[in-house]
Structure 1
Amino acid sequence: MKFVFAPDSFKGTLSSEQQIGILKQKAQEIFPEAETVGVPIADGGEGTMRAIWNTAGGKLKKCRVTGPLGAAVEAEYLILDEDRVFIEMAQASGITLIPYKSGNAGKTTSYGTGELIRNALEAGYRKITVSIGGSATNDGGAGMLAALGVEFYSKDGERFIPVGETLGNIEKIDCSGILSEMRNASFCVMCDVTNPLLGIQGATYVFGPQKGASDRDLEILERGMVHYAEKIEVLCGRKVSEIPGAGAAGGMGAALLAFCNARLQSGIQTVLEMVDFETMIGDADLIITGEGRIDGQSVCGKVLDGIGTCGKKKGIPVLALAGAMGEGAKAVYDCGIDSIMTTQNSPMCLEEALKQAEMLYADAAERLFRILRAGITINKKNIQ
């Protein structure tokens, strides 16, 4: 019997590697003869760079950059070869770098991600892949653009670096000072969502609440984003706001499309191709995946969607072990996930669940394998 473990990280608590370690331990306790294979998986958000590094190798370069709320943070990017680098937005502008707080969505900046890109370009790398999941921002990528030399001016003629709550103050965008190395660079963007920039399914209304936006904040942020979209579309000459993925990372997708002529592609599909996942599961009997919270968004090009689809294609059952289930979670059943088990084993608040994440995960993993063993026993009896 062969089990393949391919979980996404539980943001802020358990890494993919930690989960794989627990799953292997519990599998061996219940199924001592089983073969287990673990592969850390990410879809373009936090942990994607490490997942690729574990598989493809390369060299990590450390940089000190501007964090989401302006304080300096240590970040890394991955050098793949003499021309290619991989940059993870969550390293510099990620939501896990700051505590959740009401109002943050309007104040956070993507400037640090721009500093990572600038560092790589100035070091001579010209093929830039950027994963943009797990961001703390809703600034439309304006901070990133400012770090690359784009200048923003208010109606009073003052230069400033916009954040979400000040996008509506942009009167003029000047691209004349953009980093010269950009001319010969190509950008590929790993994107884990397909949301447009604007509207009820756009960057602000879908992802803003996760980043600290209240209902009133959402209205202000959306008005600013509409204004910003008009400005950048005049400059680039195309309707980037309607392109699927433009709303990713608080509008970072739109900025990369408009100013970097970037190519957007599915984050999870890229990672699965890089680790040759289909070959890995060829002789598997079961796949176990998961993420911190499964809800209706889990089917929009995210890890469960990609893993479930691969399993379904090969006729392999796929189970999801998650921290919690939210509204619309059962939609993952349509993309190849056979069932979901959550880690919470009693009524508890979120803070308590986060503190006990490792213990709760181990308990849930054991319960999952015990149920699986019972099912196998029933099947054997029926065959006999």
Structure 2
Amino acid sequence: MNVLVIPDKFKGSLTAKEVIKSITAGIAKAFSSAKIHSLVASDGGDGFLDAVSGNKVIAKMWVDTVDPLMRPIKAMYLLDSKSKSAYIEMARASGLELLTVQERNAMRTTTFGTGIQIKDAIQKGARRIYLGLGGSATNDGGIGLAKALGYSFLDNLGNTLEPIGSNLIKIAKIEKGSSYDTLNNIAFFAVNDVDNPLFGEHGAAYVYGPQKGVDRKQVQILDDGLVNLHKRAKEQLGHDNAHLPGSGAAGGTAYGLKTFFDADYISGIDFILKLGKVPDFLEKNKVDFIITGEGKIDAQTINGKLVKGVLGLGKTYGVPVIAVCGKLDLDKQQLNALGLNTVLETYESSKGIDFSMQNASTLIENLIFSFFDAINK
């Protein structure tokens, strides 16, 4: 038995490393002779830096920056001086987890702190910026990040706007800063695995706004603001990126990176899999199963998360994929469309979600053991 384990974190319960440990224990109970290979992965969201550092030797850099509400914090990123590459996880300075539930409000939050990290990396010699998107508390279209790197956003009276979600609708003029020419020599990469456009019913505000603390009316305000940002950028900068798949990632931060810094969109899971040399491994070894998973398999999984990327890997190499999750929120038809035939769910309605989250490690181990024990028999 040869098994490859590539799960995402179970948000609020287990890190990807802890999920791997539970899955490995379950397999080993059923098949003591099983060869188990694993990879700490990320789709570009939370855990991106762990995935990068788990696959290459790299320096950790700490910088004084601000959180989504502009409060001072210290945040870490990774710097590879040899290749002049910086790896920045948006969630570290602009993440939802930095705020209490009561503080979450995408009308008021900003990506400015992530921009400070990027600026620091460039000052330290980075010429390639890989920004892992996901887990953000923001819906500012990337204007906070852009402001930190020299852009200004003005209203129709010429006043400089604070780079927050509620001000997107007020933008009348976009001005490039004095550092614009320098930034032209920097290669930016927006690392993520969602395919949402910038605005509309499948866009940043409508799909992700509610989890960032905004109500239905505010979602509409934010969506209108993103439409306005796109209109101004198209008129004044000549860029038309709103409908590119992935532009809605991280509250439109992907759009901002593309529009203001000509970033390339790259798949987070493909990036990490290549970094971990997984395609090479699958070409050279016979693998019986690939096991993936995440805390909740739902509509966001369909839009492109780590699980979807691993399913693509299994299809390419003809290896069956098993997914384990805390909560399954897709019907059979959606699962079939996704190409996912075997899902192991820890949630039991009689015990509630809190029980599943608090006992995730044991529940995952037991589910995996039961699955492989049945095969063994």
Q: TM-score, normalised by structure 2?
A: 0.93
Residue 341 of structure 2: aligned partner: 338
Partner of 1:309: 312
The gaps in structure 2 that reach 5 residues or longer are none
Q: Match of 2:188, as an amino acid?
A: F
Q: Quick one: structure 1 residues 202 and 114, their matched pair in 2 at CA, closer, same or farther if it must change by over 3 Å?
A: same
The residue aligned with 1:382 is: none
1:370 Cα offset (Å): 1.6
Instruction: Tell me, in whole angstroms, the C-alpha distance in 1 between the residues paired with 2:88 and 2:43.
Output: 13
| Structure 2 match to 1:381 | none
Where does 1:47-126 land on structure 2 (aligned, <5 Å)?
A: 47-82=47-82, 83-101=84-102, 104-126=105-127
Which range moves more in the overlay, 1-10 or 169-178?
A: 169-178
How does 1:142-153 map onto structure 2 within 5 Å? Answer: 142-153=143-154
Q: Does 2:185 correspond to 1:184?
A: yes
Contact 2:150–2:179 under 8 Å retained in 1: yes
Distance 1:53 1:207, change over 3 A: same
Which stretch of the first structure deviates more once superposed, 205-214 or 360-369? Answer: 360-369
Aligned residue number for residue 320 of structure 1: 323
Cα gap change, 1:71 to 1:351, in 2 (>3 Å)? farther
Offset of 1:63 from its aligned partner? 1.4
Q: Does structure 2 conserve the Cα–Cα contact (< 8 Å) formed by 1:305 and 1:332?
A: no
Q: Which amino acid aligns with 2:233?
A: I
Matches within 5 A, 1:1-384: 1-82=1-82, 83-101=84-102, 104-178=105-179, 181-281=182-282, 282-327=285-330, 331-354=334-357, 356=358, 359-377=359-377
Evaluate the alpha carbon distance shift between residue 75 and residue 215 of structure 1 in structure 2; reply closer, same or farther with a 3 A threshold.
Answer: same
Give 3-state SS (helix, strand or coil) of 1:225's partner. Answer: helix
Q: Distance in 2 between matches of 1:195 and 1:326?
A: 19
In the alignment, the residues of structure 2 paired with residue 331 and residue 290 of structure 1 have an alpha-carbon distance, to the nearest angstrom, of 16
Distance (Å, rounded) in 1 between the aligned partners of 2:19 and 2:287: 19
| 1:300 maps to amino acid | N
Change (3 A) 1:101 1:294: farther
* One-letter amino acid of the counterpart of residue 118, structure 2: I
Give aligned-pair identity as a percent.
33
Deviations 1:207-243 (A, max 9, x none): 1122122111111111111111111222320211111
- Equivalent pair of 1:288/1:321 in contact (CA under 8 Å): yes
Deviations 1:83-125 (A, max 9, x none): 1111111111122222334861211110111011100111121
Per-residue CA deviation, residues 41-93 of structure 1 (Å, 9 max, x unaligned), is 11110111211111122111111211112222332111123311111111111
C-alpha deviation, 1:335, in angstroms: 4.2
Letter in 2 for 1:113: T
Report the AA paired with residue 176 of structure 2: C
Which one-letter code corresponds to 1:270 in the other structure? F
**Alignment check: 8 A CA contact 2:22 2:364 kept:** no
Corresponding pairs, count = 374
Amino acid at match of 1:144: L
State the 1:244 CA deviation: 1.5
Q: 2: distance between equivalents of 1:217 and 1:142?
A: 18
* Per-residue deviation, residues 128-157 of structure 1 (Å, max 9, x unmatched): 111112211100011101111111222343
DSSP-derived class of the 1:45 partner: coil
Moved more, 322-331 or 61-70: 322-331
For 1:216, give the aligned amino acid.
Answer: K
Aligned partners of 1:20 and 1:38 also within 8 Å: yes
CA contact (8 A) 2:23 2:364 kept: no
Letter in 2 for 1:84: S
My pick for the range that moved more, 344-353 or 217-226, is: 344-353
In 1, the alpha carbon distance for the partners of 2:281 and 2:212 equals 36
Distance 1:300 1:142 in 2: 24
Kept in 1: contact 2:25–2:365 (CA 8 A): no
**Offset of residue 39 of structure 1:** 0.8
Q: Assess, with a 3 A threshold, how the Cα gap between structure 1 residues 329 and 212 changes in structure 2: closer, same or farther.
A: farther
Residue identity matched to 1:370? S
Shift of the alpha carbon at 1:349?
4.7
Q: Which amino acid aligns with 1:321?
A: V
The answer to which structure, 1 or 2, has the higher relative contact order (CA under 8 A, 6+ apart) is: 2
Shift of 1:350: 4.2
CA–CA distance in structure 2, aligned partners of residues 286 and 328 of structure 1: 23
Shift of 1:181: 3.0
Instruction: Return the letter of the residue paired with 1:60.
Output: K
Render the CA deviation track for 1:178-200: whole Å, top value 9, x for unaligned: 45531311112112111111111
1:267-298 Cα shifts (integer Å, max 9, x gaps): 11111111121233432211111011101221
The separation in 2 between residues aligned to 1:64 and 1:351, in whole angstroms, is 35
- Greater displacement, 323-332 / 111-120: 323-332
